[in-house]
Chain A
């Protein structure tokens, strides 16, 4: 059985995967301004990964997918979230010190570089959700019990 889908699906996936990825990155990075945020944007980018897996097949996905890299990225996302939460540990845990007296991310509310540590946490959660969901989907797709 053929491992990938037809020519039309593959060509459409080549056009659509960057679109979904860029839109997911937009949702993640504007998480403090528009609907969405870390989880929603990360799940959207993971949708691009799942589209790659469906359109190009498991063999191509295994060639591009590095288990150690994605595992490390997921851990990095959690650690960045925890590090951002510990930035204002002098006052309290989860104290938004970047917003109150930080060097960056303290712009006018409503602009992109505002809201203190929220964009950093959104990026961390988005990275973690993307890496975790893609890893889970590849693991499920690689699970073969009925073939042998």
Chain B
């Protein structure tokens, strides 16, 4: 049972992720790219949840949760580096 409306929603999210990817490619400064990657992470989490609903698999949501938690850590690491690093 594959619901097509979830695929359309995932396609829209993918278009948004492509726009965020453009900011990562052409961002003039480093914080621009970091914000682009952070937006991309959130959109990918949304895409994972939508695709999990589209394929009707509950266990795919676990991967979205892990990705959401660890992308937060990654963004925090880059922010700490830009702030001046450890010590």
Contacts and interface: CB of A to CB of B under 8 A. Distances in A.
Q: Do A and B bind each other?
A: yes
Interface of A: 1, 3, 5, 9, 16, 19-20, 23, 27, 34-36, 40, 44, 47, 50-51, 54-55, 57-58, 141, 144, 147
A144 B87 contact: yes
28 contacts: A1-B87, A3-B87, A5-B76, A5-B83, A9-B76, A19-B69, A20-B70, A20-B73, A23-B65, A27-B66, A34-B62, A35-B59, A35-B60, A36-B62, A36-B66, A44-B69, A44-B70, A47-B70, A47-B73, A50-B73, A50-B77, A51-B72, A51-B76, A54-B77, A54-B80, A55-B76, A58-B86, A58-B87
B28 interface: no
Interface of B: 59-60, 62-63, 65-66, 69-70, 72-73, 76-77, 80, 83-84, 86-87
A58 B85 CA distance: 11
Contacts, number: 51
- 8 closest cross-chain pairs (CB), A and B: A34-B59, A51-B73, A47-B70, A20-B69, A58-B86, A47-B73, A1-B84, A54-B80
Contact of A57 (B63, B70, B86): B86
Nearest to A33: B59
Contact of A16 (B60, B69, B87): B69
Nearest to B72: A16
A146 to B, nearest CB: 10
Nearest to B80: A54
B84 to A, nearest CB: 5
A5 B73 CA distance: 13
A141 B80 CA distance: 13
A5 B60 CA distance: 33
